[in-house]
Structure 1
Amino acid sequence: MNRLKQLFTRRRRYDELSETIQSVFFGVILLAVTTLRAQTPSSEPTPLGKMVDLGDYRIHLYCTGNGKQTVVLSPGGGGFSFDWDLVQQQVQTFARVCSYDRAGYAWSDPGPQPLTFRQEAHELELALKLSGEKGPYILVGHSLGGLVAETFAEGYPDETAGMVLVDAPGPDDTLGYFGKLVRVRTLAHRTIPPIQTMKTSPPIPISDAEREQAMKYKSHKINPPYDRLPPEIQKLQLWAQILPPRVALSEKEDYIPEEFQLLYEIQQFGHPLGGKPLITMIGMQGAGKEKIEEKKAFQTLSTNSKVAEVQDAGHEIHLQDPDAVVSAIHDVMNAALHHARLKQ
């Protein structure tokens, strides 16, 4: 495990700068952030939760309910905090539950680049801490959010009690990556960048041409299964999904290939979660035999794990069968609280 731990403890050593240079550079950053925030439409709806200041940029964190444990919900790629509404409304009746918008999405400000899984896990952990939320947490991640949850668990093991992976991609799974269908394992190479701040790596404002091009692919209607959300949440969904991008995105600024090296190595070490409860959920609609076997490989993350095959849902299990996700969360919570084995 030494090599894996080094991946999380390694930090970049920065060149020493004079106070004058730091002041000038920081002023430029603040100007850029102000410009980025100004691009957000003035008709922005009121945030559901609180805006947590992480240091010259804010992350939207929405926490509800009370209980002995806190559940943290991580959205899929391109998703938002309120994608979890059908799940959060139920979980808040028996636990504390938090959803969030990653940097640059919905209410959250653009943050340091690149937005790697490690960067997002760091920002999430910091936002929870600054908001007074208490771990260890039950981590729940949909799709790429599952990879964020894995990264969080590996970087902050003492703050992780258990995990639910909702149709997350495995090392041998395939996903869309900048217009190409690629296998996750093939994206694993090189060194993962260290965690950044607004001083070391501020966001790059998007050009007018890039923004215009990106807006061509924005949907101005609610598509299934998001039409299952309550009407008031659908309004938020429509607002967020047609927001113009605020940060220049390329293969260097998005979830970068180096990030997947960590996930690949996690599998090699075997059982990095120890005996912490883990449920891997698979949406069976449209899932081929290969996909099912790839996702079952997540069982190796913990010695206390099981697979839940959800027959009436596809990739968006949290929208198509939220009860199944709530049930999985409840099972993981109970197992973590009582240090028990998951019922197979």
Structure 2
Amino acid sequence: MFRTVKTAALTALSAAVLGAGLVGCDGEDLENWDPLAASPKAEAATFTGDEKLDVDGKSVNVSCSGELADGKPVVVLLHGAGDGVDKLAALQKSVSAEYRVCSYDRLGSGASAKPDGPQSFDSTGKVLTGVLDQVAGDRPVVLAGHSLGGLIAARYAPDHTDRVKGLVLMDATPAMMTTDVSRIIPESATGPAAELRAQNIAVAQGQNPEQLVMKDGPVKSAGSIPVEVIKHGQPYLAAVPQYGQGLEDAWTAGQKKWLELSSASKLTVAEKSGHYVYVDQPDVAVKAIGGVAEKAAAA
């Protein structure tokens, strides 16, 4: 029993933490030039299934389904640490009944190339931008991330509100995860708690397949885009001896902190779910993504 709980906790905490248009114009061009005319939109990829896309010279495995539709955003799913597009397949299929949906293996994950060295939120964000350029073009995007994928989406969105028009965070890794774990589980701890603390710190320092260094930081504002934060309802972290309730309380506080991303944020508790909300209660995840996408389309 405890071994199962400890594995779940390690997965959640450690893995979770884991004017140019005028140039060259002749007289006729200038005479017919309309400064209010919309510039041509970048085309979004229309493939279905998995394809390897080139992003800054790196092979990135991307899976897409559903149809592009005018007025609707493209939904992009971000997996947790240690997972990949295969884990998100069922969720992607459900959401794609109404929306164009894509997911991708980050560098170091799944079928994508390995990173050249340590990654930061900035560098992994650049890969995300490269993927969005190809799968969404100039269309609006809704990001839906689980665990570490939620943390990456939440760090990315505030600086890219020109294209990210909605967020769904599925039990996303809190913004101050490493600080919280180090505070709650002291350096003097022994046994499973000490293992949990050490692994969490190591993963945050980049000892993970993505080589992603996950620095704690404040929650930045993404304005008024629709945001839905989904928290697990089954308190599995509380089963960690001595420090479990503190970890649960910190995780809950971290989910509430994500509400500061937007003035249009909402917290939902998936009462029957552990860390993998979209697996345990897929209906909750699908409803949240659809709701945020609908609001994004109406904005």
Give the alignment partner of residue 228 of structure 2, picking from 262, 279, 285.
279
Alignment CA distance shift 1:308-1:82 (3 Å): same
Pairwise mapping of residues 206-245 of structure 1 onto structure 2 (< 5 A)?
none
**What runs of 5+ residues in structure 1 fail to find an aligned partner?**
1-46, 190-248, 340-344
Provide the secondary structure at the position in 2 that maps to 1:113. Answer: coil
**What runs of 5+ residues in structure 2 fail to find an aligned partner?**
1-47, 183-193, 237-247
The 8 Å contact of residues 60 and 112 in structure 2, kept in 1 or not, is answered as: yes
Matched, 1:265 2:214: no
Give the alignment partner of residue 124 of structure 2, picking from 120, 140, 145.
120
Provide the secondary structure at the position in 1 that maps to 2:219. Answer: helix
* 1:274 CA drift (Å): 0.7
Superposed CA offset, 1:90-124 (max 9, x none): 11110000010011222111133212222222112
Amino acid of the structure 2 residue aligned with 1:141:
G
The 8 Å contact of residues 219 and 258 in structure 2, kept in 1 or not, is answered as: no
State TM-score, norm by structure 2: 0.67
User: Structure 1: how far apart are the matches of 2:122 and 2:200?
Assistant: 16
* 1:50 CA drift (Å): 0.8
The match for 2:52 is: 51
User: Structure 2: how far apart are the matches of 1:83 and 1:252?
Assistant: 16
Pairwise mapping of residues 13-24 of structure 1 onto structure 2 (< 5 A)?
none
* 1:252 CA drift (Å): 12
Provide the secondary structure at the position in 1 that maps to 2:266. Answer: strand
Q: Percent identity?
A: 27
Q: Number of paired residues? A: 225
Provide the secondary structure at the position in 1 that maps to 2:231. Answer: strand
Amino acid of the structure 1 residue aligned with 2:148:
L
Give the alignment partner of residue 113 of structure 2, picking from 109, 114, 136.
109
Provide the secondary structure at the position in 2 that maps to 1:278. Answer: strand
Superposed CA offset, 1:122-177 (max 9, x none): 11211231346443210011001011102221332211000000001223445889
* 1:291 CA drift (Å): 2.6
Pairwise mapping of residues 143-222 of structure 1 onto structure 2 (< 5 A)?
143-173=147-177, 180-181=196-197
User: Structure 2: how far apart are the matches of 1:59 and 1:188?
Assistant: 23
Measured on the aligned residues, the alpha-carbon RMSD in Å equals 3.1
User: Structure 2: how far apart are the matches of 1:143 and 1:98?
Assistant: 18
The 8 Å contact of residues 107 and 210 in structure 2, kept in 1 or not, is answered as: no
* 1:290 CA drift (Å): 4.0
The match for 1:89 is: 93
Alignment CA distance shift 1:188-1:101 (3 Å): closer
The 8 Å contact of residues 82 and 99 in structure 1, kept in 2 or not, is answered as: no
The match for 1:307 is: 267
Provide the secondary structure at the position in 2 that maps to 1:108. Answer: coil
Alignment CA distance shift 1:69-1:327 (3 Å): same
The match for 1:4 is: none
Alignment CA distance shift 1:164-1:253 (3 Å): closer
State TM-score, norm by structure 1: 0.59
User: Structure 1: how far apart are the matches of 2:136 and 2:298?
Assistant: 24
User: Structure 2: how far apart are the matches of 1:176 and 1:110?
Assistant: 28
The 8 Å contact of residues 170 and 184 in structure 1, kept in 2 or not, is answered as: no
User: Structure 1: how far apart are the matches of 2:172 and 2:284?
Assistant: 15
Alignment CA distance shift 1:251-1:65 (3 Å): closer
User: Structure 2: how far apart are the matches of 1:273 and 1:184?
Assistant: 28
Matched, 1:256 2:272: no
The 8 Å contact of residues 54 and 127 in structure 1, kept in 2 or not, is answered as: yes
The match for 1:129 is: 133
User: Structure 1: how far apart are the matches of 2:143 and 2:209?
Assistant: 27
Moved over 6 A (4+): 175-178, 182-185
* 1:179 CA drift (Å): 5.5
User: Structure 2: how far apart are the matches of 1:253 and 1:89?
Assistant: 26
The match for 1:65 is: 66
